[in-house]
Structures are given as C-alpha cells and as structure tokens.
Amino acid sequence: MRIVHLSTHDMVGGAARAAFRLHKALLAAGEESSMVVHCKGSDLESVHQATGPQSLHSLLGYSIQTHCLDRNRTPLSNTWFSLCWPGLDLSRHPVIQRADILHLHWVSSFQSPPTLAALLALGKPMVWSLHDQRAFTGGCHYAAGCTSYETSCFACPQLASDPFGLPAANLADQIELLPGTKVTVIGLSRWMAECARRSALFRDARIELIPNSVETDLFQPKDKVQAKGELGWPAEALCLLFGADQGNERRKGFRELMAALKLCAAGVDFGQRIKAGRICFFYFGHPSPELSDAPVPVQSLGHIGSEAEIARVYAAADLFLLPSLEDNLPNTILESMSCGTPVAAFRTGGVPDLVIEGSTGRLAPTGDVREFSRIILSLASDPNQLQALGRSCRRYAEANFTPSRQAQKCRELYRDLLQKRSAVPSTPSPPECAIAGPHFQRILPLILNELFAQIVEVLPVPRNTGAVAKCELRRARYLAQVKKALTKAASGLLSYPELIIRLQGKSPVRMKLKGILKQMFT
C-alpha cells in the first residue's frame, strides 16, 4: 500500500512526533509510507515539504488570524485558535496522486475545508487522526468545556468579539465540504473518540480507536541511581519531573501544580526533605510563567530536542507529574511509562487511558489541587510503591503502545477501507480547488472591511475648509476602491499584481493608505 501522511510538521510538537513515529513504523513494516508536510525538520527522503508562493490570500489569512483571533481572546483559554485559511491545494502533488490512502494528522495552517475537499474528490480513502479537537470545531484546538461544536460553534466563548460568526462559518464549511461519511476518524483516546461522535461534523463518521505509540526500544528503564549520576542529579534523592513543550498554555495546569506543590511543601516531613536536598524537582520544555513563583526549588532542563536525551531524563526520574486540565493522549505520559516511571495526573481527557489507578500511577479529579498534593505526598513517602508502579508502567507500555502494534492496527484499517471503497473513476485532472468555503466567503468582505476600518488612521487635517472637504472626499473614494479591490481579490477575481496596480498612486492619501494596507499584512 502507498500511504501518505499529511501533517503541518514532521518533528515540531507532540502531534508531529506522533505522526512521524507512525510513518517510521509503517516503513519498518514494509509499507510504502510517505509524509507531505508544510515544514520539514527531518532528513528522511520519504518526507516531502510542500509550500506555496506567498499570495494575497495567505497575507489576508495571516491578517485575519492575527487581528480577529490571536488578539481577540477571552481569559477562558490561551491554547491556539486557528483559522486554517487559505490552505495549500495538494490534489495535484505527485506523491498525493500516487497514494492509495491519505492519512491526515495535525494540519492547521496547512489545510482548509476547500483544500481537503479537493483531496476527497480524488476518491482515495481518507483517514484523520485527531491529535486535538480542531478537526471538528470552528477554530479552537481545545474547547475548554464548551460543547458548541456539537451544533454550530455560534457565539464562541473563547473570542471576545465575533460580530460576523467566524467560527460558525468555519464549522459550517467543514460540514458542507467534508461529509463525515467520507472520512474515517481515528480517536487516539476514548475521550477524543467520544467527542468526535458527538460533533456535528463526525457524528455519522466511522470512528476507530487506535492510540499513538512510543519507541519502547529507545524509551527504556535504567537503574535509577546510575541514570541520576549520568545527569548529575543527587543519586539518593527523590526526583520529581514535570514539563511540557509549551508550558504557558493555561490548560497545561502549571498553576494548579504550583498550588499542589505549595501544599506538599507545607508538610513537615516533605518540607524538611526538600531543604535537605532529598527531594528535587526538575522541569523540561519552554518555561511556564508559573515557575517564577514556584513554592519549591525547581531546576529547569530547558527545551530538550533529542529523544535520546529526554529518554535519559524520564529514566532518571522517580515520578512524573502531569497536571493537564485538558489533554488527549500525552506523549509525555507514554514516554515516562515506557521508561518505567509512574505518573501522577488529573483525570481528564485521554489521560485515564494511560494512567491506570494503582497500576501505572495515580489520578486526582481534574483541578482538585488538594487531592493532587495528597497523591504526591503518598507516593513520595513510599519508594517500594513507586518501584512497583514503574515496573507495571513498562509492562503496560510494551503490551499496548509499541510502534509495531500501532502500525498493524492502521494497516488493518487501511486494507479494510480499500476493500470497501466504491468504484471511483480516475481523476488525472483534479477539479479546481475553491478559494474559500461558501460560508467563509460570505463573511470575508465584512471581515476585511472591519479590519480596514480598525487600522486606518485619521489623516492630518488641512487648515483650509475647502481643502478638508476635498481631502475627505478623496479619502472616502480611495477607501471604497480599496475595499472593492480587496473583496475581488479575496474572491479570486483579482490577482495580487492587479491589486497592487489598482492601489498605485502618489497622492498623500494613497501613499498613507497603502502604508496602512502594508501594516495589515505585517
């Protein structure tokens, strides 16, 4: 089988690393697997980078993402919220053309509803692994308790202002252009699979449960004393580890972790062991702001790019702490368990698929700081229990999360989809990819006009009354011309060079407003 994985990255971020692991596992199983990515970080020849020229649409998409989403968030969440427009049409890419199976992963900033519809039109089975919730929402990557993705994503609680219904338009386009019956969904966790079943987009889709894998031959247990010595950690100390790729995300729960550690440090025995250096704390990843007020001494290991190095860190730790308030199937837990290090975490999302109470770790109710601290204190006081949990972690990882097991389950799914595929005529010339979905296209001119109105600065007013009137008239005419040109360009009726020609001119009004347009795109 010729399998092509689509992913925004191949090496950056947990979703990308998970997709890359599956790709390598399929290659090891003898399949013809390839990746098509927007940003390539590996040196594998089977990974192909696909980028398009910077166009007016990409500039407009960047401007809308920045002004309407990134700078328009409520305190509910700071996890990324993405527009996914304009997307890159891959339907004519030679690797895609040769594929038997298209397997989507995390494709934000890479694919849009129209570009995915163009891939569907090729008639090849499409599988989509859900690394977060963005595939079936109007923009959020984690819903922060909201369930509007089950209906319309109207009145999004993560946006401070949404006068044109941008998330609702996004979701409506996804529903119209990506019928759930034509996409096979892989929920990496039971929680994610259930969210997909309730969603307006995938409620009629085939949904399978195939978890991610971890390289159990790389992430291996080691003698704790030896591993700590190699890293320069105190050999006899109890070493508690925590970390995340992006620790500043609210959903990562570092505020709750710091509160739990403060309660732990208030305990007489625990506090004395910290002061004596017999309990140590280590953090990896991009730092969280909460660490500046940590109630205990924390040594930052920084961002660790090498999997071999992070495996050494997991193997040396006695306990891994994961305080996520929302999460799918964290790679950090898989890697820690494979290294024989048990986990203390909140019972949220897909975490209970990995942390089995009393077997591979301990779970506290989501956000329950006091119970989380009790679990830490209990495990810290019982080294024999930590060792028993660690051995159970390794067995559980070897039995359920090896790359070969994941590859075999995916191969079985691919074969089944190919056998059931209805006869579809070959399409050597794929249909033209739409610029935008109909619902987003409808509100795009309104969004652009609003953006332009927000950014335009008042020009200096001449003292002469007649000059003021003429200046305002020229300004109004030029604004109307710009809005009309932008609307045509966004609809594909005007090319980027033609737009520039329309906006040319050396009058003070034109020069000023051209500078404002440039500001919109930077």
Per-residue pLDDT tens digits of the chain, which is 522 residues long:
999 999 999 988 889 999 999 999 999 999 999 999 999 999 999 999 998 776 667 777 888 898 899 999 999 999 999 998 889 999 999 999 999 999 999 999 899 999 999 999 999 999 999 999 999 999 999 999 999 999 999 999 999 999 999 999 999 999 999 988 899 999 999 999 999 999 999 999 999 999 999 999 999 999 999 999 999 999 999 999 999 887 789 999 999 999 999 999 999 899 999 999 999 999 998 877 778 888 999 999 988 888 999 999 999 999 999 999 999 999 999 999 999 999 999 999 999 999 999 899 999 999 999 999 999 999 999 999 999 999 999 999 999 999 999 999 999 999 999 998 865 555 556 777 888 889 998 888 788 777 766 554 433 444 555 555 665 666 566 566 666 666 666 565 555 455 555 555 555 544 555 555 555 444
Predicted confidence at residue 288, as pLDDT, reads 76
Cis peptide bond prior to 86, omega within 30° of 0: yes
Tokens 């060079």 appear where? 497
Predicted confidence at residue 462, as pLDDT, reads 46
Predicted confidence at residue 269, as pLDDT, reads 92
154: burial class by Cβ within 10 Å (0-12, 13-18, 19+)?
Answer: middle
d(CA 101, CA 1): 8
- Mention every residue, 6+ apart, whose C-beta is less than 8 A from residue 162: 72, 155, 156
Give CA separation, 390 vs 80, 319, 461, 516, in Å.
Answer: 34, 9, 73, 59
Predicted confidence at residue 451, as pLDDT, reads 72
What is the spatial order of strands in the sheet that 101-104 belongs to? Answer: 47-49, 32-39, 2-9, 101-104, 126-130, 183-187, 206-209
501 touches 466 (CB < 8 A): no
Taken in order 502, 505, 511, 513, the sign of the CA dihedral is negative
Closest CA to 104 of 130, 86, 123: 130
Predicted confidence at residue 492, as pLDDT, reads 58
Phi, psi of 7 (to 5 degrees): -150, 145
11: burial class by Cβ within 10 Å (0-12, 13-18, 19+)?
Answer: middle
304's enclosing H/E stretch is none
- 196-199 LR contacts (CB < 8 Å, sep 24+): 196/130, 196/135, 196/136, 198/147, 198/150, 199/136, 199/137, 199/149, 199/150
413 touches 210 (CB < 8 A): yes
- Mention every residue, 6+ apart, whose C-beta is less than 8 A from residue 156: 138, 139, 140, 146, 148, 162, 167, 168
191 touches 328 (CB < 8 A): yes
d(CA 222, CA 509): 70
Predicted confidence at residue 44, as pLDDT, reads 93
Three-class secondary structure of residue 194 per DSSP: helix
423: burial class by Cβ within 10 Å (0-12, 13-18, 19+)?
Answer: exposed
Which amino acid appears at position 173 of this protein? D
d(CA 151, CA 216): 41
343's enclosing H/E stretch is strand 343-347
Give, in degrees to the nearest 5, the angle at Cα 239 between 383 and 212. 90
Predicted confidence at residue 36, as pLDDT, reads 97
pTM, rounded to two decimals: 0.87
